[in-house]
Amino acid sequence: MTFTAIDAWWWPYVFILVAGWLATDFWRFLGVYLGGRISEESELIVLVRCIATALVAAVIANLVIFPSGALAGTPLLLRVGAGIAGFLAYLAAGKRVIVGILVGEATLGIGLLVFS
């Protein structure tokens, strides 16, 4: 039952609705329902945040280490180096996301100019 398992126009939309919409709005609706019943400080919420953060981090690492498309044609070390440079710039600039993105992109761009 993969994204391309059924050759019909509607199947990708069903896949997105179930694996995407249902899997996210379920939590939003639960949040409204629970209202003020759970504390943001509770240990359960800390665990939930840890797993969610680690999962997104795993996706990010895979996008950098095993990319597809145009990024796949760039050197692995350059991608990792650009990511680290952008992250360090973000920290040095007092956690400003825009600085991290610009420095990471600039490092990648300069690297591509030098290597090609």
Partner 1 sequence: MMPAAMLFGGSMHDFEIAQSGGHEGRAVWFRRGARAAFSIPGLILVSAFVGFAGLARDAGLTLAETVFMTGVVWALPGKVVLVGAILAGNGLPAAAFAVALSSVRLAPMVVALTPEMRTARTPTWVLYALSHFVAVTSWVLAMDRFRHVPRPMRTSFYAGLGSTLVLGNMVVVAAVFLIAGRLPPAVSAALFFLTPMYFLTSLWGSARERAGQVAMILGLALGPVFHLLTPDFDLVAAGMVAGLAAFGIHLIGKRRHQA
Scanning residues 5 to 44, which ones bind partner 1 (CB under 8 A)?
5, 12-13, 15-32, 34-38, 40, 43
- Positive or negative torsion for Cα 42, 46, 48, 49: positive
58 lies in the site for partner 1, by CB under 8 A: yes
CA distance 64 to 61: 5
61 lies in the site for partner 1, by CB under 8 A: yes
Count of residues engaged in binding partner 1, rule: CB under 8 A? 80
Give the 3-state DSSP-derived string for 28-41, with helices as H, strands as E and coil as C. Answer: HHHHHHHHHHCCCC
By CB under 8 A, the residues from 80 to 99 that bind partner 1 are 82-83, 86-87, 90-91, 95, 97-98
Tokens of 65: 């280490």
50 lies in the site for partner 1, by CB under 8 A: yes
